[in-house]
A and B are shown apart, each in its own frame.
Chain A
């Protein structure tokens, strides 16, 4: 862990840079949402990709998940897994063909 004062001091610049990157990406997200990519699903896919990238920055740098103890990774991986289950199965239960249609909405029919 980055615990000694010297090490922490080294990180301070990174924090500022990440903050600037996050602000920039926010502007990008807003701009992209007004661009017409043909289908709205594409806008969704692009916007959420940027958002996911932003959250990874927060998690890895600000929350120090780039150098955390194994135990914490285990907790979080488990809850992310359950999150995935919740996201997909809730809707999937009533609509077997959903994933295929979602794929086609973004990438088109082949």
Chain B
């Protein structure tokens, strides 16, 4: 097959595909499907919805920070709506009397914003959605190694997500102690109540157990698939970097999540069975000695939590690198620079990410030996991060860049992630961190990595693979209207946070610092600025939502299975790929990034091109499977 413009019919119109098995019913095709692509899309849509919801929570918080004590706008309008009106009235009566956000509500939204963004938004999108859809296609597999497990993984995630959402309507409301849920605060909030099973915090813990089980099944599936279902010729060093990043991410999920599961289970025990895993002796609440055995340790919770949560930040960022490393070479028409170095960096990153967790705990009074150890490993881990970023930047060098929407997002990712990463470095040193810990500086640091970083990468991925998934393009003009304001407002939001942090703004102030006016008054106006940034960002997303909505049914049709002239295997499938993915058995003849190879007819030579020079015979074992 040569790399020219060929279009396959939709796979399910292909008679060769249909004779063997009859079409499954609608329910099994779209809802309880075991097809990795459907599951990927399910994860993608639910992830986007969660992302939107988490963003909505933050906008409410930003209102209170900018205008403490002023009633929220729009409550009256919502109360007047037909179906949900009553719920809104009832709920605001409890949590926002007179439309004024109560401190409890602020805490609830804060905790749930973090939780939803990290565990139900970014990870499901970056890892589960893109990984599920793209990875098996890129390695030439017909599906995941364990398709049923894959469906289970999604549904466990879904149950976990629904539990989280439902917890908003409990009498105690949802969890209120930050996404980190530190004990003893998290344990003793809504602790002496009639039934601790029916409290938001307990549901948070139960939901996490579901989400963790889901990601466990997912990661087992990803790794097995990557190891055992690679197509003929797909050696490890012919895997696109995307797949490598997914492999490392899977290992992080596999091995880092269990300790969080332990933390969740132990805190659950503390709450509902009255144990004292995380409660020290002599704990006093509201002036009263608690009736507990004591003897536990809040630090144990922090260890278990951060043992997960540091690797977790790489779970957030690696899928972003995965996507960017496909989008940039494709649109710069240049090979990925330093592919092997990037692979080794990702592996190193994965390994080191398990050894740095206590840099979140410098303030807990650890011994100096250990503080030194964690400072060293934290500085070390920035080296592979810098290598990844640098390789991507060098890949742009000398390219003939196509600035379509996905490329805009991808190139913007680079400096944004750069700012995020560089601002992390000072935090690595305990003497600086003592000052900056729990201030807006830290919020600025990680949001630069995750918001204009990972989320931009996710947008790039959506624009990039949308044609493969739906058979239609997204609109590029709307895309640009989406991109430029997003870039602007992201910086309006997160930039001033560094300044706020330096001057001591605490990350959990309900009134944005108004109560400490003596020290904060010079910078209080930045609160308003940031909030305007947040609402502006919301407006920019309208372009995306409209674009997505319109393009699904009315976007320009894809006439070529490989519309971006890309090189990886997913572009040799029919558009969209049917059940079983490939029409003929995919074979890999070369590395993943052969762009602008001198002497080749076109400026790209796909991995599945066996004709162009440089093709080498498949090295791995033949896939015995029939493709029907």
> A and B: direct contact (Cβ < 8 Å)?
yes
Q: Which residues of A contact B (CB under 8 A)?
A: 71, 78-79, 82, 85-86, 89-90, 92-96
Complex interface: chain A residues within 8 A of B368 (CB): 96
* Contacts A85-B355, A90-B300, A93-B303 given; does A79 touch B369 at CB 8 Å: no
Give the complex CA separation of A78 and B367 in angstroms.
27
Q: Which residues of B contact A94 (CB under 8 A)?
A: 299, 364-367
Which residues of B are in contact with A by a Cβ distance under 8 Å? 227, 251, 255, 259, 299-300, 303, 307, 354-355, 358, 361, 364-370
In the bound complex, how far is the Cα of B307 from the Cα of A64, in angstroms?
A: 31
Establish whether residues A86 and B259, one from each chain, have CB atoms under 8 Å apart when the complex forms: yes
Q: Contact between A96 and B259 (Cβ–Cβ < 8 Å)?
A: no
Q: Is A89's CB under 8 angstroms from B358's CB?
A: yes
- Tell me which residues across on chain B come within 8 A of A95, comparing CB atoms: 367
B367 touches A85 (CB 8 A): no
Contact A93 B255 (CB under 8 A): no
User: Which of the listed residues A82, A90, A92, A93 has the most CB atoms from chain B within 10 Å of its own CB?
Assistant: A93
Contact check, B227 vs A71: say whether CB atoms are below 8 A apart.
yes
Give Cα A86 to B255, complex, Å. 12
Contact in complex: A86, B361 (CB < 8 Å): no
What is the bound-complex CA distance between A90 and B370, given in angstroms? 10
Residues A96 and B303 in contact in the complex (CB < 8 Å), given A79-B255, A82-B354? no
Say which residue of A82, A89, A96 sits within 8 Å of B255 (CB atoms).
A82
| Cα(A93)–Cα(B365), bound, Å | 9
Inside 8 A of B307's CB, which chain A residues have their CB?
A: 86
Q: List 27 interface pairs A-B (beta carbons < 8 Å), by A numbering.
A: A71-B227, A78-B255, A79-B255, A85-B354, A85-B355, A86-B259, A86-B307, A89-B370, A90-B300, A90-B303, A92-B367, A92-B370, A93-B299, A93-B303, A93-B358, A93-B361, A93-B366, A93-B370, A94-B299, A94-B364, A94-B365, A94-B366, A94-B367, A95-B367, A96-B367, A96-B369, A96-B370
CA distance A92 to B365 in the complex (A): 12
Residues of B within 8 A of A92 (CB): 367, 370
**In the bound complex, CA of A71 to CA of B236 (Å):** 14
A93 contact from B227, B251, B355, B367, Cβ within 8 A: B367
**B361 CB contacts on chain A under 8 angstroms:** 93
Contacts of A71 in B (CB 8 A): 227
Nearest 6 interchain pairs by C-beta: A96-B367, A93-B370, A93-B366, A96-B369, A90-B303, A82-B354
Contacts of A89 in B (CB 8 A): 358, 370
User: Measured between C-beta atoms, what is the minimum distance from B262 to chain A in Å?
Assistant: 10
Bound Cα distance from A8 to B365, whole angstroms: 56
Residues of chain A within 8 A (CB-CB) of B354 are 82, 85
Nearest Cβ in chain A — how far from B373, in angstroms?
A: 8
Residues of B within 8 A of A90 (CB): 300, 303
Hey, which chain A residues are within 8 Å of B355, CB to CB?
A: 85
